[in-house]
Amino acid sequence: MKLPFSFPGVQRAPDPSDELPASPPLECAQAEIERWNAEWIEYLKQEWEVQLTPYTDYPRKPSLPASPLAMLGLEIREGWPISLYADADSLEGRRVMEMGCGCGNLGKLLGRYVESYLGTDYSTLALKIARLVSPSNCSYVHVADRAGLSPFFNTIDTVVGRYFWIHQNFQLAGWNLDFLALFLKPGGRLYADFYWPNPALEQAVVFTPDHALSRAYPSATFRYTAEDVQRLIAGRPFRVLREEISPEMQRRYTVLERLPGP
């Protein structure tokens, strides 16, 4: 299905009946779990093979490129660029966490480089698959499982995200930062893949970050300017270390550092 074109920056007229309710991760409601489980059942109709393949089927361990833009093209599974923006030294031997880990497609490949990998997600179904396909240094815990997550508080060196921050509006992104601040050690890094449209490429549905989540377009992307990112971290224990635009990937890759303090 071809989605209607919405030029970056154009705010659609607010329609209260289109608003999809959301809640902070630790208070994630049953309805959200069911919505994301239903999404995964749909994805799996097409993607079951890739998602259900265990890490042992991909034995390669190429060395990690030093440049994060080169990292995007790393092929642990031959012919499949990993599409992750991260510095090699933030992964190798580190305690890494991924928010929105889905079926562990990233964790099952990165597990061989990192000390430990914690994946968290809304979907209980995706987490069950992730546990089956990943090596033993990967743990997968639901976003609302406080008892399961609390042993990881203040232990994480690096938070990564792939196909994640592009779908988070301002309210959700703020809740996510508050949640992730619990896990990151001071000086730890968070790699965020915000959407930044390339006008030369066709766009699907793109909202500005203050737009509510949409029932009609649950896979819409939210475009973040550098100012939106500054507004997002204001009053939160993070600072921007670096940002890099990738026109090919249509991303504003932003590296945040966890500051000391609550």
Ligand X SMILES: C[S@@+](CC[C@H](N)C(=O)[O-])C[C@H]1O[C@@H](n2cnc3c(N)ncnc32)[C@H](O)[C@@H]1O
Q: Which residues bind ligand X (CB under 6 A)?
A: 25, 36, 99-102, 105-106, 121-123, 126, 143, 162-164, 172, 176
Q: Closest separation between CB of residue 126 and ligand X, Å? A: 5
Q: Give 163 or 170: the residue with its C-beta nearer to ligand X.
A: 163
Q: Give 43 or 116: the residue with its C-beta nearer to ligand X.
A: 43
Cβ atoms of 259 and 238 within 8 Å: the answer is yes
Q: Give 126 or 192: the residue with its C-beta nearer to ligand X.
A: 126
Q: Closest separation between CB of residue 259 and ligand X, Å? A: 22
Q: Closest separation between CB of residue 148 and ligand X, Å? A: 14
Q: Give 162 or 189: the residue with its C-beta nearer to ligand X.
A: 162
| Torsion angle (degrees, nearest 10) of CA 9, 13, 14, 18 | -100
Q: Closest separation between CB of residue 38 and ligand X, Å? A: 10
Q: Give 140 or 164: the residue with its C-beta nearer to ligand X.
A: 164
Q: What is the 3-state secondary structure (H, E, C) of the chain?
A: CCCCCCCCCCCCCCCHHHECCCCCHHHCCHHHHHHHHHHHHHHHHHHHHHHHCCHHHCCCCCCCCCCHHHHCCCCCECCECCCCCCCHHHCCCCEEEEECCCCCCCHHHHCCCCCEEEEEECCHHHHHHHHHHCCCCEEEEECCCHHHHHHHCCCEEEEECCCCHHHCCHHHHHHHHHHHHCCEEEEEEEEEEEECCCCCCCCCCEECCCCCCECCCCCCEEECCHHHHHHHHCCCCEEEEEEEEECCCCEEEEEEEECCCC
Q: Closest separation between CB of residue 260 and ligand X, Å? A: 25
Alpha carbons 225 and 209: distance in angstroms, whole number? 9
Q: Give 6 or 168: the residue with its C-beta nearer to ligand X.
A: 168
Q: Closest separation between CB of residue 118 and ligand X, Å? A: 13
Query: Which burial class, exposed, middle or buried, applies to 98 when counting CB atoms under 10 A from its CB (0-12, 13-18, 19+)?
Result: buried
Q: Give 64 or 126: the residue with its C-beta nearer to ligand X.
A: 126
Q: Closest separation between CB of residue 106 and ligand X, Å? A: 5
Tokens 């097409």 map to which residue? 46
